[in-house]
């Protein structure tokens, strides 16, 4: 995989989650930490960088996103993709694994992740960590 459009569902899910957290933060008693929203917004910027083909900038932004909130599945997904693009399959697989446990349980999104992992595995010489 090397085609960003392959993550259309994840991208849309990210936008939906941002919208949901914006509403949450506006509520009298927010259920989520504001760091989560900040982290998701960084993931949006990381996605935009990836769309522009700026892999290093993607990594910078997505790393900042997970520094704020490790449960950001999208940031982990973009990191997996960026490291895969950069020829670092083991790191890519580790982020993909983390994304797997943090992304929303949406079959289409998880399907996109599965596609990425298959592509990463194809580039790996050793066993895949679980």
Partner 1 sequence: MAAKKPRSTSGRSRSTPRSRARFSFVRLALSLTLVVGPPLVAATALAAWMEYAEIEKRLVETFDGRRWDFPSQIYSDSYAVYPGLAVSSDAFKRRLATLGYKPVPGRPARRGEYQLAGQEMKLWLHGFEYPDHREPGRLLEMRLDREGRVIRIAEADGGAEIYEFLLEPARIGGVHGASAEQRKAVGIDEIPVALVRAVLAVEDRRFFEHSGVDGRALARAMVVNLRSGEVRQGGSTLTQQLMKNFFLTDERTLSRKFREAVMAVAAEQRFSKLEILENYLNEIYLGQDGAFSIHGVWEASQFYFGVEPSDLTVAQIATLAAIIRAPNYYSPQRHPERARERRDLVLGMMHAQGDIDAGTYERALAEPVVAEAPGRGEVDAPYFLDHVRRDLLGRYPKDVLSREGYRIFTTLDPELQEIAERVVRENVAEIEADHAEVVAKVGQPLQAALIAMNPRTGAVVAMVGGRDYRTSQFNRVTDMRRQPGSTFKPIVMCAALGSEQVGAAHFRPTDKVMDERMRWEYGGEVWSPRNYEEKFYGLVSVRDVLEHSLNSATARISKDIGIRPIRDLAVRLGMDPKLQAFPAIVLGGWPVPPFDMAQVFSVFAAGGVRANPLAVRKVVDRDNRAIDGRTVEISRVIPATDAYMVTHLLAGVMERGTGAAARRKGFRHPAAGKTGTSNDYKDAWFVGFTPDLLAVVWVGFDQAASLGLAGSEAALPIWTDFMRQALADHPHTSFQIPEGITLVDVDKETGGLATPSCNKVVREAFLAGEEPHAYCPDHARF
- Cα–Cα distance between 5 and 29 in angstroms, integer? 36
Q: Is residue 97 near partner 1 by the rule CB under 8 A?
A: yes
Q: Which position among 14, 46, 59, 120 is part of the footprint of partner 1 (CB under 8 A)?
A: 59
Rule CB under 8 A: which of 27-46 touch partner 1? 33-35, 37-38, 41-42
Q: Is residue 53 near partner 1 by the rule CB under 8 A?
A: no
- Cα–Cα distance between 106 and 9 in angstroms, integer? 9
- Cα–Cα distance between 31 and 12 in angstroms, integer? 22
Q: Is residue 52 near partner 1 by the rule CB under 8 A?
A: no
- Cα–Cα distance between 21 and 39 in angstroms, integer? 11
H-type alpha helices, the chain: 8-26, 34-51, 55-68, 73-85, 89-102, 107-123
Q: Is residue 64 near partner 1 by the rule CB under 8 A?
A: yes
Binding site for partner 1 (CB under 8 A): 25, 33-35, 37-38, 41-42, 56-57, 59-60, 63-64, 66-71, 79, 83, 88, 90-91, 94-95, 97-98, 101-102, 129-130
């Amino acid at each position: 995989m090397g085609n960003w459009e392959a993550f259309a569902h994840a991208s849309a899910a990210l936008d939906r989650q941002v919208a949901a957290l914006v509403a949450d933060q506006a509520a009298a008693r927010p259920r989520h930490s504001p760091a989560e929203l900040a982290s998701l917004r960084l993931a949006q910027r990381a996605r935009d960088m990836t769309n522009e083909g700026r892999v290093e900038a993607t990594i910078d932004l997505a790393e900042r996103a997970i520094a704020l909130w490790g449960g950001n599945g999208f940031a982990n997904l973009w990191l997996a993709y960026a490291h895969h693009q950069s020829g670092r399959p083991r790191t890519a697989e580790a982020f993909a694994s983390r994304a797997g446990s943090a992304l929303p349980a949406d079959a289409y999104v998880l399907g996109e992740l599965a596609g990425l992992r298959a592509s990463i595995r194809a580039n790996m010489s050793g066993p895949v960590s679980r």
